[in-house]
């Protein structure tokens, strides 16, 4: 009986030590806290993919942990042996979950109408109180006197806009050198 009580006391003490240790570590700041980014953009042409990588490099060089679907997710065009329904389910769930894990969403808004998937990701992010930033290097616009549809612009904390894509990269780099997102 004494032996049983002794083991119980030891087990309780070990549990308490574990709990207090976990609590102590929980108070330590996570270096990536607030720096997880979901990068929403078209990813279908070689040019789009290359520019996405350039933008992501700037973010990662400033300590942001970036989920880039073309690199870190699933591309439906590259998946084989699945039904359309299975493809949709796999891609949607992965991207949806990654948007929810992120603190920040960056969305590339080039085109007369921005990419539909990127707009959905922006909407999910905004509805879940994520910080949302936009990039635009394209003068085409669907609204006569506005550069962006108000439903898109209204989601954004800040829009980085420059017709010169390389200059936009420099602007972003400078902004991140002076500011946290």
Find the CATH number of the domain harbouring 39: 3.40.50.450
pLDDT at 145: 64
Pairing outcome for strands 131-136 and 104-108: parallel
Q: Kindly state whether residues 104 and 20 are assigned to the same domain.
A: no
* Start-to-end Cα distance in the chain: 60
Do 24 and 106 fall into the same domain?
A: no
Query: What predicted TM-score, i.e. pTM, was given to this entire model?
Result: 0.79
Alpha helices (H) in 28-161, listed in sequence order: 46-61, 69-72, 84-101, 116-127, 150-153
My answer on whether 93 and 20 are in the same domain is no
What values do phi and psi take at 45, rounded to 5? -100, 160
Q: How far apart are CA 70 and CA 73, in angstroms?
A: 6
**pLDDT tens string for the chain (181 positions)?**
554 444 333 333 333 233 333 333 334 444 467 999 999 999 889 999 999 999 999 999 999 999 999 999 998 778 889 999 999 999 999 999 999 999 999 999 998 889 999 999 999 999 999 999 999 998 887 665 677 889 999 999 999 999 999 999 999 999 999 999 9
């Amino acid at each position: 009986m004494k032996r049983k009580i002794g083991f119980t006391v030891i087990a309780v003490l070990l549990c308490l030590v574990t709990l207090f240790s976990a609590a102590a570590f929980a108070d330590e700041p996570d270096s990536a806290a607030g720096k997880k980014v979901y990068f929403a953009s078209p990813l279908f042409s070689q040019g789009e993919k290359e520019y996405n990588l350039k933008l992501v490099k700037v973010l990662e060089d400033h300590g942001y942990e970036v989920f880039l679907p073309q690199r870190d997710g699933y591309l439906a065009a590259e998946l084989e042996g699945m039904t359309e329904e299975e493809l949709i389910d796999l891609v949607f769930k992965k991207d949806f979950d990654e948007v929810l894990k992120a603190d920040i969403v960056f969305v590339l808004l080039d085109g007369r109408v921005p990419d539909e998937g990127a707009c959905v990701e922006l909407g999910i992010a905004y509805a879940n109180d994520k910080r949302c930033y936009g990039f635009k290097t394209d003068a085409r616009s669907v609204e006569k006197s506005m550069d962006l549809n108000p439903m898109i612009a209204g989601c954004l904390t800040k829009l980085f806009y420059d017709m010169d894509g390389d200059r936009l990269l420099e602007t972003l780099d400078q902004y991140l050198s002076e500011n946290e997102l």
